[in-house]
Amino acid sequence: MGRAPCCDKANVKKGPWSPEEDSKLKEYIEKYGTGGNWIALPQKAGLKRCGKSCRLRWLNYLRPNIKHGEFTDEEDRIICSLFASIGSRWSIIAAQLPGRTDNDIKNYWNTKLKKKLMAMTAQSQRKPPPFPSSHHTPPVSSQSLSSLYKDCSTSYCGTPNRSFTAFEPMSSVQSDLLNNSNTTNFATNSSLIHTPQSLVSHMQYYPVKENFLMFGSEPSCSSSDGSCSQISYGREIKQEDMSFQGFGASTGYEDNHKFMLDYGTNNGGANVNQWTEKPSGYYGECSLDYDLEDVKRLISSSSTNNCCNNNNNNNNNNQTASVI
């Protein structure tokens, strides 16, 4: 049996939203909220729209604190850094840019930033780098990425028994993670970030589970659909896992510890991106040293490096990384 449509397509309006529709939707949501049911909302609000359409309209355009307009250099850097790290996970990237929606960022990347970087690369190399048609796979070879990929363990630990970071490959920690009672949960209950193939082989298994190394997001979501992406890298933290430094073992690890990419400069004035916990406390940091130059190098190197450095036996053509 096929899947039922989310709405009666024959009786829903499509296309651009009129100011009247906008105000209806806005007024309704401000008055009653979404009620946790987008499908039923348009009828209640007197709109002849698909629930999904209402949801998108609200989250991408109508909800408060949406930021429109030019992206700053700082935002460029963050986007590039995260794209180089996790690929086209726009909702995650958006979570680091308050007020920006994933749709905005996606559009910005596809229409401007990518071209900008390509132009810069072409200029430096005098040849245009090939760029995959699919945005999902960043043009990053595992080898080149490894040159950028920072093991942040030193940020966490002086003499770590074990440490890993948001950008540490699971391959180096997965045995620890998997060899415990939580293995099943980890393997079956956690979603896995769709990991670009070029990254899978070398560095990334990024299991998603709550309460661990979250990409934080404000209650007002920056995802285009306000999904409040809270992506965590690794399985759920247990008390015994806090034996390594950098995670505040003594205080335990509580829910809702979220990490945000904190862009700024270090004492030397150099630009750094740091993973900082929010809203309170501090459990460590991870410097993301990607900048535009790095991304340019990533792009350019993709034309010369074979991106299929396959150290991973599970490597296949599926873009979705999987463990086990």
Partner DNA sequence: AAAACGTGCAACCGCCAAATG
Partner DNA sequence: TCATTTGGCGGTTGCACGTTT
- In the bound complex, what is the minimum distance in angstroms from residue 137's beta carbon to DNA? 7
What is the signed CA dihedral for 168, 144, 70, 34, rounded to 10 degrees? -40
Task: Select the span of 84-92, 199-207, 232-240, 249-257 touching DNA (CB under 7 A).
Answer: 84-92
- In the bound complex, what is the minimum distance in angstroms from residue 2's beta carbon to DNA? 8
Q: Strand pairing partners for 276?
A: 260
Asked if residues 237 and 247 have their Cβ atoms less than 8 Å apart, the reply is: yes
Burial class from Cβ neighbours inside 10 Å (0-12, 13-18, 19+) for residue 14 reads exposed
HSE (side-chain half, CA atoms, 13 Å) at 53 = 19
Q: List the interface residues with DNA, window 262-291 (CB under 7 A).
A: none
Does residue 320 bind DNA (CB under 7 A)? Answer: yes
Asked if residues 144 and 305 have their Cβ atoms less than 8 Å apart, the reply is: yes
Does residue 61 bind DNA (CB under 7 A)? Answer: yes
Does residue 202 bind DNA (CB under 7 A)? Answer: no
Residue number, 36 or 269, with CB nearest to DNA = 36
Asked if residues 140 and 114 have their Cβ atoms less than 8 Å apart, the reply is: no
Asked if residues 324 and 187 have their Cβ atoms less than 8 Å apart, the reply is: yes
Task: Select the span of 10-18, 117-125, 177-185, 266-274 touching DNA (CB under 7 A).
Answer: 10-18
What are the b/e assignments for 221-257, b being 16+ CB within 10 Å? bbbbbbbebbbbbbbbbeeebbebbbbbbeeebeeeb
- In the bound complex, what is the minimum distance in angstroms from residue 232's beta carbon to DNA? 12
Distance CA 232, CA 181 (A): 19
Among 100, 150, 194, 202, binds DNA (CB under 7 A): 194
> How many residues bind DNA, per CB under 7 A?
56
- In the bound complex, what is the minimum distance in angstroms from residue 174's beta carbon to DNA? 18
The site string for DNA over 116-145 (x = CB under 7 A, - otherwise) reads -----------------xxxx---------
Q: Which residue has the tokens 């997965």?
A: 174
Distance CA 13, CA 230 (A): 32
Does residue 189 bind DNA (CB under 7 A)? Answer: yes
Does residue 206 bind DNA (CB under 7 A)? Answer: no
Among 28, 90, 233, 275, binds DNA (CB under 7 A): 90
Residue number, 118 or 272, with CB nearest to DNA = 118
Task: Select the span of 35-43, 148-156, 242-250, 255-263 touching DNA (CB under 7 A).
Answer: 35-43
Does residue 96 bind DNA (CB under 7 A)? Answer: no
Q: List the interface residues with DNA, window 102-121 (CB under 7 A).
A: 102-104, 106-108, 110-112, 115
Does residue 52 bind DNA (CB under 7 A)? Answer: yes
Count, residues in the chain: 324
Asked if residues 240 and 250 have their Cβ atoms less than 8 Å apart, the reply is: no
Helix (H) / strand (E) element for 191: namely strand 191-192
Token pair of 33, please? Answer: 């909220």
Residue number, 227 or 303, with CB nearest to DNA = 227
Residue number, 85 or 103, with CB nearest to DNA = 103
Asked if residues 260 and 276 have their Cβ atoms less than 8 Å apart, the reply is: yes
Residues that bind DNA (CB under 7 A): 1, 3-4, 6, 9, 13-17, 34, 36-40, 50-53, 55-57, 60-61, 68, 88-92, 102-104, 106-108, 110-112, 115, 133-136, 189-191, 194, 223, 225-229, 320
